[in-house]
A and B are shown apart, each in its own frame.
Chain A
Amino acid sequence: MELWHSHLLREKVDQSSLLVQGNRACALGALDAGVRFFAGYPITPSSEIMEAMAYELPRVGGVFIQMEDEIASICACIGASMSGWLAMTATSGPGFSLMQEAIGYAIMVEAPLVVVDVMREGPSTGRVSVPSQGDVMQARWGTHGDHPAIVLAASNVADMYRLTMAAVRFAQRFRTPVTLLSDEVVSHMRESFSPELVDRYRLTSGDFDFTPGYLNPELAREVHTPHVLGSETHPHVTGCTHDETGFPTSDAGKSEGFLRELYDKVTNHRDELCLYDMKNEGKGRVCIVAYGSCARSARAAWRLAEQEGLPVEVLHLYTLFPLPVEIIQQVARRVEFMVIPELNLGQYAREVRKLAENWTTVVGINKIGGNLITPREILDQVARLIGKYESV
């Protein structure tokens, strides 16, 4: 049975796990994490997230607004965020492209914000109802200038729930926009799911306040705590490079210091930000590194490999950026090959290769056009690489 609204879902969670759509699980995760503002614009394959929010938010005293485009949507979210409310928006490739300038603004003014990008085939209109992983590098470098990025990738319905919660938590803690990548398959498929069963990133309270001093004091130096509209400090908020007063600065030293601080507050906390799952650790000659819907195929390939006696490890990444440097290099040191299946032409493999090529050979399996990569396709590549098995 599938349930449309979270209050119905919540009634049933104790009884059994239920069939839930990925996009609905995302909305539920957002609500459970305390998101109370959503502004969006319809776009396939993400629209169910905003439909759920339109229904749910007023029930919990929140605000939903359908804006005139994706630019207005993210700007309204930043306005709400800088006024002390947790905000989220969701879109797909074309809308994600439109949002890029404002994502840079949110980074600059340190607005906590979650942006969900449900990837479809691109560029341009592409094909709207097929999965893709073509926005990975846009999620990292889409807005102009040197900037930090926190990018998570969901591979199933439970991920859509818990990674949305993680995205909210990271956005709050690091006061920066966090992108959650999904794709058409992950967002539209229905899976058995119960919020009570997944590994939760539950936050302490539904009511968050971004007033100064909210953050952990030991992070205060690295993570800016700019003032919030409506507070006693009646601050100035600007996308110009600014100093500690909040006003624009033309001092080169201060500018560089500020921009480096923005960057470092994310990369210096890689340990905390990099979420991953390792299967068969230390037992493989080949490691399949995967994320999103390809990680499902990778996990299935690993199960097949066990049956067929192929020495395979799987590194399933939930955090794509900041780059999980340590775990990638650790794996690279011990395996002969890293195989990276992606629904793009090797965007993330290029990142991994830069980190791993001193120790291992990185091989991509790439598919664009809308079909998924099958477990057998991955395993065939593995077998070819270790020369143990010839596919028919």
Chain B
Amino acid sequence: MSLEIEQFLHTERLPHMWCAGCGIGIVTGAFLRVLVRLGLRREHTVVVGGVGCSSRAAGYVDVGSMHTIHGRALAFATGIKMVRPEFTVVVFTGDGDGAAIGGNHLIHACRRNIDVTCILFNNQVYGMTGGQMSPLLGWGDLATTAPYGQVEEPFDLCGLAEAAGATFVARGTAADIEPMEDLMRLGIQHKGFSFIEAVVPCPTEYGKRNASGGVLAMLDDERARSVSVEEARRMKPEELGDKIVTGILRHDPNRPEYQRSYAAIVERAQAEAARETGQEEAG
């Protein structure tokens, strides 16, 4: 497998820029295996990143790739998908990029149900700028801009995506990478907007301030706190507390996909235009 994934990796760009123990690389590796498994054409696959640690993954994946501006990756991806529907378009974003500065684009991409897969790496902090709090930082957690502890409620991003109309919503963790890989594969195969939250450890900027005990302990903790969607349904809200609910939270293959709906409009408008031209000639 490792040789196979290398075809999708810019090996000349290695070593990568992520810190030791960072979970983004684990998920990016799984993403490369998904590309191999799905047998995607490199020229017709486009990865779009915003700005931040996770968005940098776009620069290591050897397909068409676009490293854009902070928060707007989904808007760029929308333009790409609308004119090149044959492309598989995947957005790599982070909890700051996707949920703070880019939050509005996220909910509108969900609402449109455009066939783009958004993989949001949630490490609870702005890693690249030195560990400031993101909207996903837990209550009471420390960050450089929350030196006395965070007193804002973190987002439930999957809940937000569901409410906004995304038709494939899932959450996985770097700790359980095989299910994570499956979720990404299913999200890409889904014809509609797929939102996948990947919970990843940031030992450097989150772990060290919150006495998380290093990356292995952080991964163990992720695993211990994970409960499946099915288990979670049987649990009371107060029991869910700091649990990470993993698996597919929503899958609705029936809602119309935006690009296809628009293609039908184009067909109708072109037929109308042709009819009018015909009438003109006849007249």
Contacts and interface: CB of A to CB of B under 8 A. Distances in A.
A132 to B, nearest CB: 28
Contact of B59 (A11, A75, A236): A236
B59 to A, nearest CB: 6
Contact of B64 (A61, A67, A71, A235): A235
Given A37-B82, A76-B82, 16 more contacts: A58-B268, A61-B270, A63-B83, A72-B75, A78-B76, A79-B83, A83-B84, A229-B46, A230-B46, A232-B43, A234-B63, A235-B65, A236-B66, A238-B59, A239-B69, A247-B13
Contact of B67 (A80, A232, A239): A239
Interface string B64-107: 11111100100111111011100100000000000000001100
A79 B87 contact: no
Interface residues of B, number: 42
Contacts, number: 138
Given A68-B108, A72-B72, A87 B67 contact: no
Contacts of B4: none
A327 interface: no
Main SS at interface, chain B? helix
A79 B63 contact: no
Interface in A32-82: 36-37, 39, 58-63, 65, 67-69, 71-73, 75-82
Contacts of B78: 39, 65, 67, 72, 76, 79
Contact of A247 (B43, B59, B270, B276): B59
Contact of A236 (B43, B45, B67, B105): B67
Contacts of A75: 68-69, 72, 75-76, 79
Contacts of A85: 83
Interface in B241-283: 262, 265-266, 268-270, 272-273, 276, 280
A63 B262 CA distance: 8
**Closest 5 pairs between A and B when the two form their complex, measured CB to CB:** A79-B79, A76-B79, A75-B75, A58-B269, A72-B75
Interface in A20-41: 36-37, 39
B162 interface: no
A247 B56 CA distance: 11
Interface of B: 10, 13, 42-46, 48, 58-59, 62-69, 72, 75-80, 82-84, 87, 104-105, 108, 262, 265-266, 268-270, 272-273, 276, 280
A379 to B, nearest CB: 48
A230 B266 contact: no
A102 interface: yes
B76 A79 contact: yes
Nearest to A231: B43
A68 B105 contact: yes
A229 B82 contact: no
Looking at B10, B105, B272, which has the most chain A CB atoms within 10 Å of its CB? B105
Interface string A75-116: 111111111110100000000000001100100000000000
A81 B75 CA distance: 13
Looking at B10, B48, B68, B280, which has the most chain A CB atoms within 10 Å of its CB? B68
15 contacts: A58-B265, A58-B268, A59-B269, A59-B270, A60-B273, A68-B108, A72-B108, A79-B79, A83-B46, A83-B83, A229-B80, A231-B43, A232-B43, A234-B63, A236-B58
A275 interface: no
Contacts of B280: 11
Nearest to A56: B269
Given A59-B269, A68-B108, A102 B72 contact: yes
Nearest to B111: A68
